[in-house]
Chains A and B, each alone.
Chain A
Amino acid sequence: MTGVRVLVGTRKGAFVLTSDGKRQGWDVSGPHFGGWEIYHLKGSPVNPNRLYASQTSDWFGQVIQRSDDGGQTWEPVGNQFEYEGVPGTHQSIDGTPHPWEFTRVWHLEPSLVDADTVYAGVEDAALFRSTDGGQTWHEIAGLRGHSTGPQWQPGAGGLCLHTILLDPTGGERIFVAISAAGTFRTDDAGRTWRPVNRGLNSEYLPDPTAEIGHCIHRIAMHPSRPDVLFMQKHWDVMRSDDAGASWHEISGNLPSDFGFVVDVHAHEPDTVYVLPIKSDSEHYPPDGKLRVYRSRTGGNEWEALTNGLPQRDCYVNVLRDAMAVDMLDPCGVYFGTTGGQIYASADAGDSWVSIVRDLPKVLSVEVQTLP
């Protein structure tokens, strides 16, 4: 029977939540890797039982875990991430040159066509790839080698490559997003890259429309329309209709256009979800009300989705990798909070329930739709 598996990374371990196609009752498994920060877990679209997890610690560094049975058992694989050549420097937060230094893997993106191929977005920002199931990792060095690399600066969370969008048509295009360098695109499988940030306006930059320096929080795409991208920038919700060549704002009637997550409905390419956060100084929802906003028009016109979500005294945040959608009909939408709640909607956002309420701070949420 069709079901869903929700993969949750938290500050103190990973959790695997499973349900059948009705998405009413849930089994919770975990914590896996208790006490470690699990920045991200994701399953292979080719083999849903193949999962990859980024396990990290300020004390003990980076570990990559792999499962071949849907998260019941795990095996540590390769954890050596060496920058290609002489790493050089980027800008530190105080504006002085700082040597490129690997800290952790923020995001793992399994290939759409090969279960043994997986991409890793890391801090300090770089893109790595493994073609042997995570045993060995090699940098796709053209990205960090872009002429603007020495000017990249971290956001408050570090200089992290947090979003990787692979070409759903099987081509060689990849989008990545880096806080706070911007969005970059390759059309030749990573050999060459170009910044695609035209139209972004960031008041915290000396030149608000500069080619790089924008703090992108998240980018989303519907696989049926790979040239249309939705972006939650630090401030501003943006859209591109030409594969990032230009962007325009679609914040419209949102109560705040600051936030972290953005995602697209599985079956409606113009239905988009964001979760407004009051400001970059406060990092909690406006008015203490946890509200997902949905646009059915590809932006600009947004409706608040509140049924089942706390509408008073709520001061959690929802981090950039902590929203996902399933492929069922109606589409399921899921997000996790810094307060440890996982909320799920089995009706495209019309109503919500909390699957679990008291996990550690949620860092990431992914969903697998199982055959």
Chain B
Amino acid sequence: MIRVVLPYHLRMLAQIGREVTLEVDGPATQRSVLDALEARHPVLRGTIRDQATQQRRPMIRFFAGGQDLSHESPDAPLPEAVASGAERLVVVGAISGG
């Protein structure tokens, strides 16, 4: 079980709570977790990563266990603590704007 925390606006858009739990087939990676998230909540397609290129949107970051995982390969295994559900994968919107 993977635990994902979404920023306020995406929770409102998908009409879900702060934390989403997901089951992922195969290794837990950024890509497989986001695939599972978007399959569960299709309205989130395009809001975290570009639908065509699959690239992370520039003002989105992925944090877990005190680490910034944003620049890891989307296909790199997530830390074991995230894969086991002990740690949450936090999707963060940049602190900017007004």
User: Considering the complex, which residues of chain B in the window 70-96 have a beta carbon less than 8 Å from any beta carbon of chain A?
Assistant: 93-94, 96
Contacts of A59 in B (CB 8 A): 7, 9, 57, 59-60, 93-94, 97
A residues near B (Cβ < 8 Å) are 34-36, 57-63, 76, 79-80, 82
Which of B17-25, B27-35, B43-51 lies at the interface?
Answer: B43-51
Q: Is B69 an interface residue (CB 8 A)?
A: no
- What's the least CB distance linking B16 to chain A, in Å? 13
- What's the least CB distance linking B47 to chain A, in Å? 4
Q: Is B10 an interface residue (CB 8 A)?
A: yes
B94 touches A82 (CB 8 A): no
A60 touches B97 (CB 8 A): no
Contacts of A60 in B (CB 8 A): 9-10, 13, 47-48, 57, 60, 93
Contacts of B52 in A (CB 8 A): 80, 82
- Which residue of chain A has the shortest Cβ distance to B8 in the bound complex? A35
B46 touches A57 (CB 8 A): no
- State the majority secondary structure of interface residues on B: loop
- What's the least CB distance linking B71 to chain A, in Å? 18
- What's the least CB distance linking B43 to chain A, in Å? 5
A63 CA / B13 CA spacing, docked (Å)? 9
- Which residue of chain A has the shortest Cβ distance to B98 in the bound complex? A11
- What's the least CB distance linking B77 to chain A, in Å? 26
- What's the least CB distance linking B82 to chain A, in Å? 22
Contacts of B47 in A (CB 8 A): 60-61, 63
Contacts of A36 in B (CB 8 A): 9
- What's the least CB distance linking B38 to chain A, in Å? 12
Contacts of B12 in A (CB 8 A): 34
- Which residue of chain A has the shortest Cβ distance to B93 in the bound complex? A59
A63 CA / B57 CA spacing, docked (Å)? 14
- What's the least CB distance linking B88 to chain A, in Å? 20
Contacts of A34 in B (CB 8 A): 12
- What's the least CB distance linking A123 to chain B, in Å? 15
A62 CA / B46 CA spacing, docked (Å)? 7
Q: Which 6 A-B pairs have the closest CB atoms?
A: A60-B47, A59-B93, A59-B59, A76-B43, A80-B51, A79-B46
A80 CA / B53 CA spacing, docked (Å)? 12
- Which residue of chain A has the shortest Cβ distance to B52 in the bound complex? A82
Contacts of B43 in A (CB 8 A): 63, 76
- What's the least CB distance linking B93 to chain A, in Å? 4
Given contacts A59-B59, A59-B60, A61-B57, contact A80 B94 (CB under 8 A): no
- What's the least CB distance linking B5 to chain A, in Å? 15
A152 CA / B90 CA spacing, docked (Å)? 40
Contacts of B60 in A (CB 8 A): 59-60
